[in-house]
Chains A and B, each alone.
Chain A
């Protein structure tokens, strides 16, 4: 099994390198991370924290939008496109299981995503440290940010595979992927915000809202990174929600989502007649 998964991942990684996905995604992450580190340095004096601490908060917010988008872009074509070309039919006549195909692609895409994230965040962390704007605590926060961004990306890769398997064409899969991105990253938060305003501090705000927030992988990622450190929480004002909830909830949600997503993708893949 491992041999086949690695062989599939190897080929898939070469494709990600050759179609420039890795280069473009890394450049994008680096550009934004550097811009946030050096462009967003104004409030450091007022809050009494170092440069990198502030930029980790900004990078978290950036990652909530950018990482799911990059992951979905990588994943939406993985099944539907391969099926349309007829490649999936040929692949599945070989003694390789559908799970192995899924894991092979996922492994390669997680590696591609990790490379883009660690290049982007790593280089800007290095730059901040070089000019004396980073301490051990903020470097650790950056490391956790990178790890959790990969986990968040894996969730959306898995959701992307599920959509790709359910859609009948790559075009439909792309449409579904954009819809999922808008719902998870934009509309979900807007909905919660609307409910908060309507409830104005009632039961919903105190007992239901924090759990709903943690249930969304994108918000769980935000909570995981911002609520973990008091300094960070101070820069974003998110500590209110995390105080009402056991500290493990966001972490559990963040790490459970990739597994849930892959299970969904595997189920969707079963229905395919290539």
Chain B
């Protein structure tokens, strides 16, 4: 049996002559956490549906611990959190999770334990129709944890969650990883929490444009650093012309430079002495990094 949790080789999906996923290669080892990033329509959900065996593969191969997607054994090992979790609104949370527990071959008590773990034990006997979106999302997460999955596929799991819920969510994902599961999280934006992954894979128009650790991506992108200069009142146009930056308002000037030129720029700013009130140095954010790779602004 293969030791890779997930092995994708040259996977292709065609939808009416358009390749929505083309030539994707990706490997996940047990205990590994990978973020799958891309715009809406980049092919993230299609790729996840292919891994689940919900949609046919038109080329290449995918294996889950050596099994074909959709096989009984692959389905036993895989857990899925869909992007829009839609449970039946007239069932209670306990009934819905109890059904999934039965299908996963677990006891009903496993469902009760999990409801407690995601903080839903109080609402568990109310109908899902009365729940908030965050609660439904947590129920979705609870069903992921059923049956001790070895590969978890989470499709935009934190969209619509408040920051606290997001944090809780990722701490549960941490537990999953600690138990040795491989986790693939898809997202359309990179937040600090999602960056806590081993690797980041970025999809653009169905192709995998890059796959690296966060530090590796930073090195490769070589994005400029921004310097935000605050001047004394009314002097920003003079400062802007002398430093060669852009005037933001009557007290602000913005400059950008490569990482290597930062100190020289700072020295220039210091020379202006009394005209300057403050300087902020802003390294490229995760969002900049993501935009750089996902929109193809790089000239690789």
Contact = CB atoms under 8 A, between A and B. Distances in A.
Query: Do A and B assemble together?
Result: yes
Contacts of B243: none
B90 interface: yes
Interface stretch (B101-109, B202-210, B259-267, B272-280): B101-109
Nearest to B90: A18
A217 B87 CA distance: 35
A273 interface: yes
Nearest to B51: A93
B95 interface: yes
Contacts of A19: 90
A107 to B, nearest CB: 14
How large, as a class, is the contact surface on chain B? 20 to 34
A15 B91 CA distance: 7
B105 A89 contact: no
Contact of A87 (B52, B72, B87, B105): B87
B99 A8 contact: yes
Nearest to B56: A273
Contact of A94 (B84, B85, B88, B104): B104
Given A15-B90, A18-B90, A89 B82 contact: yes
Nearest to B71: A95
Contact of B95 (A3, A14, A85, A86): A14
Interface of A: 3-4, 7-8, 10-11, 14-15, 18-19, 85-87, 89-96, 273-274
Interface of B: 49, 52, 54-56, 72, 75-76, 78-80, 82, 84-88, 90-91, 95-96, 98-100, 102-105, 127, 143
17 contacts: A4-B103, A11-B91, A14-B90, A15-B88, A18-B90, A18-B127, A85-B86, A86-B86, A89-B49, A89-B82, A90-B80, A90-B85, A93-B52, A93-B78, A93-B80, A94-B75, A95-B75
Given A11-B99, A274-B54, 5 more contacts: A14-B91, A14-B95, A87-B87, A89-B82, A93-B80
